[in-house]
Chain A
Amino acid sequence: DQQVKQNSPSLSVQEGRISILNCDYTNSMFDYFLWYKKYPAEGPTFLISISSIKDKNEDGRFTVFLNKSAKHLSLHIVPSQPGDSAVYFCAAGRSGAGNEKLTFGTGTRLTIIP
C-alpha cells in the first residue's frame, strides 16, 4: 500500500531551467509534507516543508505547492543548478499521530544537464 507516490523515477533538466518534481498521496490524514534531497553515500537532508493549511511555501530557489483536493504536491526548483542533481524524496506525516513517523515516496532522480 504505497500511500505516497512519486511516479517519475527520473528527470533531466537543463541548467538554468525550472525543475518540477511531483508527488501524490492517498491518505487524507496526512497534514504536513516535506521534501528531502539525497546524495549518494549520504543520508537524506531536509529541503522544504509545507503544512496542509497552506498551499505554497517558498525558500529561495525552492517552492513547494500543495493541492489538497487533488492530494498532490510539487517541488519547483528555479533556476536549476548542477549541484541540484540528487534523488528527491517526498514525505508525509500526521501531526496528531503521537509520533513523528514519516511516509516516504520512492524518490525521483534529478539530473541537471550543464
Chain B
Amino acid sequence: ETGVTQSPTHLIKTRGQQVTLRCSSQSGHNTVSWYQQALGQGPQFIFQYYREEENGRGNFPPRFSGLQFPNYSSELNVNALELDDSALYLCASSLGSNGYTFGSGTRLTVV
C-alpha cells in the first residue's frame, strides 16, 4: 500500500508566475484535500475534491484552483503568485471519514 506522494518537493517561482503542484493519493482513497501551511502556522484548508468534484473550499481566492482525476490523483494550481503564497503545501487523501493520510508536502518559495 503506497502512501500519499507529492511532487515536486521544492519549488522556487517568481512573483506573477503560475505553479502546478501534484499529488498521488493513497491507494483506494477517493477524497483529496489540499492545505497551505505558512511558517509558524498550522495547516489551513484550501479545498477538497471527492470523485473529481470540488467538495468544500476554504478562504482562498479564485486564483487557487484544483483538479481531481479519475484515478483520484490531484493538482493544485496557483495563478499570479504573490510573495505570501510562499508556504508548505500539503495534500491529504482519505476514504470517507477514516481520517487523512498526508503527503510530505511541496515547499513553494515565491521571490
Q: Is the A/B pair a real complex?
A: yes
Contact surface of B with A, Cβ cutoff 8 Å: 4, 31, 33, 35, 40-45, 48, 50, 55-56, 58, 90, 92, 94, 97, 99-105
- The one of B41, B100, B103 in contact with A106, judged by C-beta atoms closer than 8 angstroms, is B41
Asked if A45 lies at the interface with its beta carbon under 8 angstroms from chain B, I say yes
Residues B42 and A100 in contact, CB atoms below 8 Å apart: no
* Contact partners of B105 in chain A: CB under 8 A: 43
Report the nearest B residue to A99, measured CB to CB. B56
* Chain B residue nearest to A90 in the complex (CB): B42
| Residues of A close to B43: CB separation below 8 A | 44, 89, 102, 104
Residue A103 is within 8 A (CB to CB) of chain B in the complex: yes
User: Which residue of chain A has the shortest Cβ distance to B97 in the bound complex?
Assistant: A100
Q: Evaluate contact between A99 and B42: CB separation under 8 angstroms.
A: no
A42-B50 Cα distance, complex, nearest whole Å: 24
Binary per-residue interface labels of chain A (23-41) against chain B in the complex, 1 for a CB within 8 Å, 0 otherwise: 0000000000010100001
Most chain B CB atoms below 10 A, which of A6, A44, A103: A44
